[in-house]
């Protein structure tokens, strides 16, 4: 984002996947065989999040109610904050409950389409059939996600845990 480093061709292709609609273009729904990430993780800022609360298809029946557990509203059940992708490669485990141990599992969740439910985000359009990303595209996406690691930030003493008082 700062323009200090050039992305490799694989990383560039992974970035492009994040900016393209998912789905088969022949279906006439605007599909671009992309990863469909940009709706919730826009690249307009360094954090790659829209800051909203969404249901990303983790469950059809909610054991964790998310925002709905606070508001009690049916339309809020299963909604969780869209996280930043900054330093995502070093922030495992993933999802609100830590169910995914690595980014490959996260990518596969979205690639498989997730689980439909009454509150699923309209951006989760592929609960039937998934995104159908090839292994090559999944590797490109993973390569790009690793570029979002900010080692300077992670190693800055000003942001380290000071330890017990």
Judge contact between 95 and 58, C-beta under 8 A: yes
> Distance between CA 113 and CA 2 in Å, rounded?
32
> Which residues in the chain come in under a pLDDT of 70?
1-4, 28-29, 45
- Name the CATH superfamily housing domain 9-152: Cytochrome c-like domain (1.10.760.10)
Count the neighbouring beta carbons within 10 Å of the beta carbon of residue 98.
Answer: 9
**Helical H runs in the chain?**
9-18, 67-71, 103-112, 135-147, 151-154
Taking only the tens place, the pLDDT of each residue in 66-90 is 999 999 999 999 999 999 999 999 9
pTM: 0.87
Peptide bond connecting 37 to the previous residue in cis, omega within 30 degrees of 0: no
């Amino acid at each position: 984002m700062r323009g200090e480093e050039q992305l490799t061709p694989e990383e560039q292709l992974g970035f492009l996947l994040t900016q393209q609609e998912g789905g088969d273009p022949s279906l006439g729904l605007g599909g671009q065989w992309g990863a469909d990430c940009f709706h919730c993780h826009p690249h307009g800022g360094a954090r790659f999040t829209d800051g909203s609360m969404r249901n990303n298809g983790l469950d059809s029946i909610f054991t964790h109610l998310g925002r709905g557990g606070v508001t009690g509203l049916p339309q809020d059940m299963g909604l969780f904050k869209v996280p930043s992708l900054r330093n995502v490669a070093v922030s495992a485990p993933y999802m609100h409950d830590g169910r995914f141990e690595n980014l490959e599992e996260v990518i596969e969740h979205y690639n498989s389409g997730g689980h439909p439910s009454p509150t699923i985000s309209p951006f989760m359009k592929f609960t039937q059939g998934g995104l159908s990303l090839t292994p090559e595209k999944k590797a490109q996406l993973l390569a790009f996600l690793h570029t979002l690691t900010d080692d300077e930030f992670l190693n800055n003493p000003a942001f380290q845990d000071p330890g017990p008082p």
